[in-house]
Amino acid sequence: MSLADLRDLFIVIFAIIGIGATILLAIISFLVFRRIRSILDSGRETIGNVRKISSLVSDSIAKPLIGVAGFLQGLRHALEFVSRFSRRKEGKSSERGE
* Ramachandran area for residue 80 (φ above 0: left; ψ -120 to 50: alpha; else beta): alpha
Q: State how far the Cα of 88 lies from the Cα of 83, in Å rounded to an integer.
A: 9
Mean pLDDT of the chain, nearest integer: 87
Q: State how far the Cα of 31 lies from the Cα of 35, in Å rounded to an integer.
A: 6
Q: Report the run of H or E that residue 83 belongs to, with start and end.
A: helix 63-95
Arithmetic mean of pLDDT, 54-82: 88
The closest of 34, 72, 5, 58 to 26, measured between CA atoms, is 34
pTM, to two decimals: 0.45
Judged by average pLDDT, the poorest of 28-32, 38-42, 79-83, 84-88 is 84-88
